[in-house]
Amino acid sequence: MNRTFSMGVLLFPALVFAQERYATRTGEVTFHSETPMENIDAVNHKATSVVDLASGQVQVSMLIKAFEFDKALMQEHFNENYMESNTFPKGEFKGKLAGFTAENAKNAGKYEVTLEGELDIHGVKQKRTLTGTIEVDAAGAIKATTDFIVKPADHGIKVPGGVNVAEEINVKARMDFLKM
Amino acid sequence: MKRNLLLIGLVILVLGGVVAYYMYQKPAEKSVSDEPELVIGAQELLAAFQADETKAMATYARSEQVIQVIGTVRSVDRSDPAKVNVVLETGDALAGITCEFEPAHAPDWKEGANVKVNGVCAGVLMDVLLTRCAAVE
């Protein structure tokens, strides 16, 4: 199933239920690795996400090569040695949203939500339940945030001994959605 | 003689350490400066990814590969304080070539302008993404 078709499958019902579909192409995802020797931080400004409030379906996708580091060598090692991004170019989460409906989207407020689904990193999928917050402002703009831990080992990512990468990586995501 | 050899060895070690430290600390480039390895039209690049994503990744998105994309500006988005996003026209209303610029390196382009962009291709989601972009004058 190619990229256009798979995103299209999620997007097609937008023609019918457009008012309950929200999307962004500029979601921000950061990750933080902390060790006594060194901290590593990276940011991706191009996460794509689609949410269908009628069904609760959520999809988040990002290109691994779009993560930016401060140091050139770190970025190179991240892509070539750990994430093997030529082979596994994307990280994705597909799941179901609970705790926020189309009705909530009409009212300003803060909502605690859960996302239950599958996290696909480095070609290895793991079932995950994530918690997050959705904020609706007075103008109806929707912002979703979440943070969670990823263990590289759970996704087949091999980090050689002696390398300053933590066993648990802190990931944060922020999506400012637009109505489709 | 032995002492000289030791001294030379030590100097090489220290020099090696300095070089290694410099390489490790070298900041990541926010805007590419290398010459592109190939030049391609925006429409052609999207078509390549739509036809065969794996092959397109191997051709246009290799590690640290700089490519040049030629096209027409569909839109310029300056709403994100972290990035300026220029989307190039591809003929496909749902997909374009998104060129990500650091604000300090972003050109003053308008919609409809014919442009050339150097960058590193990260792959495709809904759009093909070009990162670390530099405008070609």
For residue B32, tell me if it sits in a domain: no
Number of domains in chain B: 1
Q: Is residue A11 part of a domain?
A: no
Predicted confidence at residue B22, as pLDDT, reads 84
**The domain spanning residue B69 has which CATH number?**
2.40.50.140
CB burial of residue A94 (10 Å; 0-12, 13-18, 19+): middle
Tell whether B85 is within 8 A of chain A (Cβ): yes
The answer to whether residues A76 and B48 touch, using CB atoms and an 8 Å cutoff, is no
Contact B24 A73 (CB under 8 A): yes
Which structural domain range is residue B44 located in? 38-135
| A1 part of a folded domain | no
Q: How far apart are the first and last CA of chain B?
A: 58
Q: Is residue B21 part of a domain?
A: no
Report whether A39 contacts A165 (CB < 8 A): no
Within-domain flag for B12 = no
Flag whether B33 is in a domain.
no
Structural domain including A160 reads 22-179
pLDDT digits (tens, 9 = 90+) for A73-125: 999 999 999 999 999 999 999 999 999 999 999 999 999 999 999 999 999 99
Residues 6+ apart with CB under 8 A from B136: B68, B115, B116, B117, B118
Distance from B6 to chain A by nearest Cα, in Å? 29
A10-26 pLDDT tens trace = 554 444 445 689 999 99
pLDDT of residue A37: 81
Q: Is residue A31 part of a domain?
A: yes
- The answer to whether residue A117 sits within a structural domain is yes
Q: Is residue B18 part of a domain?
A: no
When divided into structural domains, chain A yields a total of 1
Test A86 with B49 for CB contact under 8 angstroms: no
Packing angle of the helix pair A3-11, B42-51 (nearest 10 deg)? 90
User: B2: distance to nearest CA of chain A, Å?
Assistant: 34
Determine the Cα–Cα distance for residues B127 and A132; give it in Å rounded to an integer: 27
Q: Which residues does chain B have within 8 Å of residue A63's beta carbon, measured at their own beta carbons?
A: 122-125, 129
Judge whether A4 lies within some domain.
no
Nearest Cα residue in chain A from B83: A45
In-domain check, residue B22: no
Task: Please report the pLDDT score of residue A161 as a whole number.
Answer: 67
Write down the ipTM of this complex: 0.88
Q: B21-39 b/e with 16+ CB inside 10 Å = b? A: eeeeeeeeeebbeeebeee
Distance CA A164, CA A109 (A): 41
pLDDT of residue B21: 85
Domain of A90: which CATH number? 2.40.128.110
- Selected residue with higher pLDDT from A62 and A34: A62
**What digits encode the pLDDT tens for the residues B113-129?**
999 999 999 999 999 99
pTM, rounded to two decimals: 0.88
In a 3-state reduction of DSSP, which class is residue B128?
strand
B85 contacts in chain A (CB < 8 Å): 26
B44 falls within a domain = yes
